[in-house]
């Protein structure tokens, strides 16, 4: 199957229309020393103070994790990174994050430091926290790890996927097709992430799934950059459709093979 495609120019125009948020600023040494103040009660469980409840694709947290402003903010930023809302080289500001989410500097600082330890962000110098650029070699390693881990997680999920789940996946894939046709890069990235993690969370894995999430934290920004640069013209084979068709057939081997092929397609974009 072949998807409808959009040109690279259209995707670049779509990205430039999104603009930059208050999150992208310099971070100064003074910010790192700001005292903690009480965070306002504007967070809702699992999301970033938008009043809409937990996003469908928010990473799962242990029920034993503390429910604090910093953990909720970490989850919100984590999701945005996975969905490619940030691009390599962008500067993330403690003050900008705190202002955007209506909280104090301390939860923002803790959330960003947490993301640094996960490899999603780096200190470029003493004054800046940035989304890192991945070398070609490292990006290939991320995709190699994704292919091996995600096919196993998918295999574990297979028996738990219901007809209702397949319907959700088909709707998400249709959203991806629409986003490609409309050159809506953000919707493409968001629906692609939700498609994969709707499957993976059905595995119930408490070991492999967190590793997959860490890989997506590094993959999301770089994949957005690649899609922005090259457009969707290389995303021609609809492996998501092959995934849902294999599920309809009850074909576990075909399902896992289509998952692997979808990930390998990302490798071909590097050529």
Phi-psi region of 123 (alpha: psi -120 to 50; beta: other; left: phi over 0): beta
Q: Which structure tokens are listed for 117?
A: 């330890």
Helix runs in 88-232, H state only: 94-101, 105-117, 136-157, 163-181, 185-200, 208-230
Mean pLDDT of all residues in 5-23: 41
Q: Is the pLDDT of residue 207 over 50?
A: yes
- 253's CB contacts (< 8 A; 6+ apart) are none
CA distance 232 to 189: 11
Are 16 and 79 in contact by the 8 Å Cβ rule? The answer is no
Band of pLDDT at residue 112, cut at 50, 70 and 90:
very high
Q: What is the mean pLDDT of the chain?
A: 79
> pTM above the 0.85 mark?
no
Band of pLDDT at residue 67, cut at 50, 70 and 90:
confident
Q: Which of 1-5, 198-202, 204-208 has the lowest mean pLDDT?
A: 1-5
CA distance 82 to 138: 17
Strand 128-130 with 91-92, pairing: antiparallel
CA distances to 79, 86, 181, 200, 252 from 194, in Å: 10, 17, 19, 10, 21
Residues linked to residue 125 through DSSP beta bridges, in sequence order: 128
Write down the pLDDT at residue 235. 57
């Amino acid at each position: 199957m072949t998807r409808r495609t959009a040109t690279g120019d259209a995707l670049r125009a779509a990205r430039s229309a999104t603009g930059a948020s208050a999150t992208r600023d310099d971070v100064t040494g003074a910010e790192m020393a700001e005292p903690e103040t009480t965070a306002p009660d504007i967070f809702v469980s699992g999301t970033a103070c938008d009043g809409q409840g937990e996003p469908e694709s928010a990473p799962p947290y242990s029920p034993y994790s503390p429910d604090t402003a910093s953990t909720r903010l970490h989850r919100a930023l984590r999701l945005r990174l996975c969905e490619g809302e940030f691009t390599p080289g962008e500067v993330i500001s403690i003050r900008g994050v705190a202002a955007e989410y209506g909280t104090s500097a301390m939860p923002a600082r803790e959330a960003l430091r947490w993301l640094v330890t996960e490899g999603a962000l780096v200190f470029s110098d003493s004054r800046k926290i940035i989304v890192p650029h991945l070398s070609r070699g490292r990006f290939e390693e991320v995709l190699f790890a994704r292919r091996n881990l995600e096919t196993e997680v998918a295999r574990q999920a297979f028996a738990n996927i219901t007809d209702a789940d397949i319907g959700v996946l088909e709707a998400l894939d249709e959203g991806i097709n629409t986003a490609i046709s409309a050159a809506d890069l953000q919707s493409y990235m968001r629906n692609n992430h939700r498609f994969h993690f709707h499957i993976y969370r059905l595995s119930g894995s408490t070991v492999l799934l967190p590793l997959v999430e860490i890989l997506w934290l590094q993959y999301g920004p770089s994949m957005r950059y690649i899609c922005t640069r090259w457009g969707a013209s290389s995303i021609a084979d609809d492996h998501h459709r092959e995934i849902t068709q294999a599920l309809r057939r009850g074909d576990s081997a075909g399902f896992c093979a289509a998952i692997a092929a979808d990930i390998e397609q990302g490798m071909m974009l590097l050529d």
